[in-house]
């Protein structure tokens, strides 16, 4: 019964998405307020029905209704409740349901919070968002129905892939999708603007918060995925250049570019068509990522069951959506007003260069990811590229980009002078140079690349804080005046500083763990000790334990280091239902680095194969990502205020004029 409720809700949602696409689009064309209003109602109803479908599927999992094929394939009687809930989005069908839910969530949000948008723009945004929803609801219903029944009904189900039975599954996909799919709203805004034929500062002011929300979630989602891989895969890798990781990295890179270019559009009215193009491309890469995971064109640890029909359908959606929006772009963008000009040395110019680097980085990742497909099609060879490719293409681009990052915020808008610019950067440049020299001296020339990485990190972090120092005129004004300046610092500036500093923190983490990680592999028995990176690690116990749906061999280690003593537990788990083994690593977390211990199978002589690593500064990678996301959130808090303030002033004149508004 529950499954049928979900099924009907999905069908109704598809019909509503169709209404949401057609009626407001025609309404905006005929300037009919009643028809435009239908868009808002349809968006909210569509959201409601998708929520009903989603909850229905969740309920089928919670009650272990094995008559639903999807539940029988991904759940069983002994599977803990939390992973039955997580399994709701742990399969192809379930994750597509999450996909359409998030498309509808953003649509609903525009319907509710977009009241002060120009009515025709809101109607068109909702129409495009409705079209995306309709396309994927159709995909879900016609090729990947999550509610298909099974006959005969099995007594017990199979199992959710044990690797996915982890708290990571509960949080990572929803957060990642909120970012990934959230870029659909940027796409909708871009296409709506092209249809309207006008883009202005008001448009940029409206689209930026949405992009920011998607970007924050995408940042956190990618970081979570990386952290999850780090602790579950059993050897402490945190990024693999796996096609699916790349599929989320590419939209992130373009979303980052979009975030910056829309700032220029908002403040200076420039980069109009470029911003629209980025909005289209960013979401198109989300679509391509969805295609990649579900079509079987590439092999990946994340890939779902192969089904060519699904691949054809998604490819059709991409061809139609991205193709038509790019065609629309080619037709309409040349006639869009271009904004004010800027000098080669200005903040606009710095952001343009930043955008080009981000685009180039995206292109290298795209080429590396799809190289196997292109080679197979052109030559029939089965070749894929690995981390070395990215080391020689992506990494150099990013190093140059990082050098540029600290220039942007200290540059003036419109025009600036080199001889004034350079003194502003004396602190970050000086400290980075000191770091480079000291690190090269301490660690030797062999680690020059690592020294360069650390120097870049310092350059980014100090470069971020110099923005505050300049604003507060440290050393130039009295203490009480400075206090006033500190208090009047807008949240957006704080956001910028935190996010750029976060980038520096991540850079330090990546550099340190790449250059200085050490490891040991050995056979150990209880009582034995070993030294690793200044720590003495002793295996104190080894015993079999039973989890709810697995059996495990559990080893306990005593770690004594310079900062005290800790106990780590590492397990090798065996899931009888699917005959799969997983590793639960023991990780001693510290701000200066982690001790990472994973155990493998028992040797014939009774010893246990133990792999242990010292990962210096590895947590800085994720801490930096969280700082970036936090910076985004701080900036968003500011924006919501400013949007509210601006709209009161702008609403009337904007309704008539399409001039760029330059504050």
Report the interface residues with another protein, using CB under 8 A.
72-73, 152, 154, 156-158, 273, 277, 281, 284, 291, 295-299, 306, 308, 311-312, 315, 318-319, 322-323, 326-327, 329-330, 333-334, 370, 372-374, 376-377, 382, 576-579
Dist. CA 349–CA 417, nearest whole Å: 13
- CB 249 → another protein: shortest distance, Å? 18
- CB 53 → another protein: shortest distance, Å? 25
Strands 593-602 and 564-575: unpaired
Q: Which is nearer to another protein, 301 or 657 (CB)?
A: 301
Burial class (CB in 10 A: 0-12, 13-18, 19+), 64: middle
Q: Which is nearer to another protein, 332 or 572 (CB)?
A: 332
- CB 184 → another protein: shortest distance, Å? 18
Q: Which is nearer to another protein, 85 or 158 (CB)?
A: 158
- 269 close to 198: Cβ distance less than 8 angstroms: no
Angle at the Cα of 409 (from 405 to 415), degrees rounded to 5?
110
Residue 591 backbone phi and psi in degrees, to 5: -65, -25
Dist. CA 157–CA 67, nearest whole Å: 10
Q: Which is nearer to another protein, 379 or 479 (CB)?
A: 379
Q: Which is nearer to another protein, 41 or 161 (CB)?
A: 161
Q: What is the DSSP string of 65-82?
A: -TTBHHHHHH--TTS-HH
- CB 630 → another protein: shortest distance, Å? 34
Strands (E) across 527-592 are located at: 529-532, 535-546, 551-561, 564-575, 580-584, 586-588
Return the number of other C-beta atoms located less than 10 Å from residue 483's C-beta: 12
- CB 192 → another protein: shortest distance, Å? 18
Complete edge-to-edge strand list for the sheet that includes strand 593-602: 518-524, 608-616, 593-602, 586-588
Choose among 279, 421, 452, 266: nearest CA to 350: 421
Q: Which is nearer to another protein, 162 or 593 (CB)?
A: 162
- CB 259 → another protein: shortest distance, Å? 20
Q: Which is nearer to another protein, 75 or 594 (CB)?
A: 75
Tokens of 90: 């742990």
Q: Before 152, cis peptide (omega within 30)?
A: yes
- CB 357 → another protein: shortest distance, Å? 18
- CB 299 → another protein: shortest distance, Å? 5
Q: Which is nearer to another protein, 84 or 639 (CB)?
A: 84
- CB 147 → another protein: shortest distance, Å? 18
Return the number of other C-beta atoms located less than 10 Å from residue 612's C-beta: 27
Dist. CA 648–CA 113, nearest whole Å: 15
Burial class (CB in 10 A: 0-12, 13-18, 19+), 55: middle
- CB 73 → another protein: shortest distance, Å? 8
- CB 297 → another protein: shortest distance, Å? 5
Tokens of 271: 């980069």
- CB 189 → another protein: shortest distance, Å? 18
Return the number of other C-beta atoms located less than 10 Å from residue 643's C-beta: 17
Q: Which is nearer to another protein, 373 or 395 (CB)?
A: 373
B/e letters for 238-269, b = 16+ CB within 10 Å, e = fewer, are bbbbbbbbbbbbbbbbbbbbbbbbbbbbbbbb
Three-state SS across 427-472? HHHHHHHHHHHHHHHHHCHHHHHHHHHHHHHHHHHHHHHHHHHHHH
Q: Which is nearer to another protein, 296 or 607 (CB)?
A: 296
Tokens of 224: 């979570």
- CB 132 → another protein: shortest distance, Å? 17
Question: What is the C-alpha radius of gyration for the chain, rounded to an integer number of angstroms?
Answer: 27
Residue 359 backbone phi and psi in degrees, to 5: -65, -40
- CB 519 → another protein: shortest distance, Å? 28
Q: Which is nearer to another protein, 155 or 418 (CB)?
A: 155
Q: Which is nearer to another protein, 133 or 157 (CB)?
A: 157
Complete edge-to-edge strand list for the sheet that includes strand 529-532: 529-532, 535-546, 551-561, 564-575, 580-584
Cβ-based neighbours of 156, under 8 Å, separated by 6 or more: 66, 76, 77
- CB 204 → another protein: shortest distance, Å? 20
Q: Which is nearer to another protein, 320 or 404 (CB)?
A: 320
Return the number of other C-beta atoms located less than 10 Å from residue 155's C-beta: 9
Helix axis angle, 201-232 to 183-196, nearest 10°:
160
Q: Which is nearer to another protein, 92 or 500 (CB)?
A: 92
- CB 100 → another protein: shortest distance, Å? 22
- 17 close to 133: Cβ distance less than 8 angstroms: yes
| Residue 534, phi-psi category: left (phi > 0), alpha (psi -120 to 50), beta (remainder) | left
Q: Which is nearer to another protein, 32 or 376 (CB)?
A: 376
Name beta bridge partners: 53. Answer: none
Q: What is the DSSP string of 142-168?
A: HH--TT-B-SSPPSS-----GGG-SHH
Helix axis angle, 183-196 to 272-295, nearest 10°:
130
Q: Which is nearer to another protein, 9 or 336 (CB)?
A: 336
Q: Which is nearer to another protein, 373 or 633 (CB)?
A: 373
- CB 236 → another protein: shortest distance, Å? 26
């Amino acid at each position: 019964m529950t499954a049928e409720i979900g099924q009907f809700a999905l069908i109704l949602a598809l019909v509503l998405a169709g209404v949401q696409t057609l009626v407001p689009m025609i309404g905006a064309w005929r300037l009919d307020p009643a028809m435009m209003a239908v868009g808002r109602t349809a968006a909210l109803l569509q959201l409601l029905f998708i929520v009903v479908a989603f909850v229905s599927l969740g309920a089928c999992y919670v009650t272990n209704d094995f008559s639903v094929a999807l539940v029988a394939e991904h759940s069983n009687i002994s599977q803990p409740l939390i992973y039955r809930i997580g399994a709701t989005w742990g399969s192809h069908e379930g994750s597509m349901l999450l996909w359409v839910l998030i498309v509808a969530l953003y649509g609903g949000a525009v319907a509710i919070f977009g009241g002060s948008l120009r009515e025709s723009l809101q109607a068109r945004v909702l129409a495009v968002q409705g079209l995306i929803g309709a396309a994927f609801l159709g995909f879900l219903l016609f090729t990947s129905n999550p509610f298909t029944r099974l006959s005969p009904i099995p007594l017990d189900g199979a199992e959710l892939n044990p690797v996915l039975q982890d708290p990571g599954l509960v949080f990572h996909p929803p957060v990642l999708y909120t970012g990934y799919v959230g870029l659909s709203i940027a796409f909708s805004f871009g296409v709506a603007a092209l249809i309207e034929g006008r883009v202005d500062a008001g448009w940029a002011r409206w689209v930026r918060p949405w992009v920011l929300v998607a970007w924050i979630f995408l940042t956190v989602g990618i970081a979570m995925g990386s952290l999850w891989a780090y602790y579950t895969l059993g050897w402490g890798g945190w990024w693999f250049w796996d096609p699916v990781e790349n599929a989320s990295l590419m939209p992130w890179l373009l979303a980052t570019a979009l975030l910056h270019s829309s700032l220029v559009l908002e403040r200076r009215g420039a980069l109009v068509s470029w911003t629209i193009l980025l909005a289209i491309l960013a979401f198109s890469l989300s679509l391509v990522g969805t295609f990649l995971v579900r079509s079987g064109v590439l092999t990946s640890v994340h890939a779902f069951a192969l089904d060519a029909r699904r691949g054809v359908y998604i490819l059709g959606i991409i061809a139609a959506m991205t193709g038509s929006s790019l065609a629309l772009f080619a037709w309409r963008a040349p006639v869009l007003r271009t904004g004010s000009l800027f000098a080669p040395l200005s903040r606009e110019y710095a952001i343009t260069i930043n955008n080009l680097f981000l685009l180039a980085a995206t292109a290298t990742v795209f080429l590396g990811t799809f190289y196997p497909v292109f080679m197979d099609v052109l030559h029939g060879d089965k070749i894929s590229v690995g981390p070395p490719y990215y080391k020689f293409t992506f990494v150099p681009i990013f190093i140059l980009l990082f050098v540029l990052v600290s220039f942007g915020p200290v540059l003036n808008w419109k025009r600036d002078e080199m001889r004034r610019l350079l003194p502003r950067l004396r602190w970050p440049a000086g400290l980075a140079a000191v770091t480079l020299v000291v690190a090269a001296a301490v660690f030797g020339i062999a680690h020059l690349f690592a020294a360069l990485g650390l120097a870049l990190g310092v350059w980014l972090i100090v470069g971020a804080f110099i923005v505050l120092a300049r604003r507060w005129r440290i050393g130039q004004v009295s203490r009480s005046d400075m206090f006033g300046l500190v208090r009047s610092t807008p949240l957006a500036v704080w956001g910028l500083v935190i996010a750029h500093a976060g980038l520096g923190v991540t850079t330090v983490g990546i550099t340190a763990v790449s250059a200085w990680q050490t490891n040991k592999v050995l056979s150990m028995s209880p009582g034995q000790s070993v030294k690793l990176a200044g720590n003495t690690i002793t295996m104190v116990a080894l015993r079999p334990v039973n989890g709810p749906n697995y059996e495990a061999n559990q080893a306990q280690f005593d770690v004594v280091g310079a900062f005290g003593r800790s106990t780590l537990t590492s397990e090798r788990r065996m899931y009888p239902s699917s005959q799969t083994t997983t590793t639960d690593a023991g990780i001693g977390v510290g701000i200066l680095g982690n001790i990472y211990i994973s155990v493998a199978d028992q040797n014939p002589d009774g010893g246990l194969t133990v792999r242990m690593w010292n990962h210096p500064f590895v947590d800085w990678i994720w801490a930096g990502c969280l700082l970036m996301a936090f910076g985004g959130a701080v900036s968003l808090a500011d924006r919501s205020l400013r949007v509210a303030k601006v709209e009161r002033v702008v609403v009337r004149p904007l309704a008539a004029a399409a001039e760029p508004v330059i504050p």
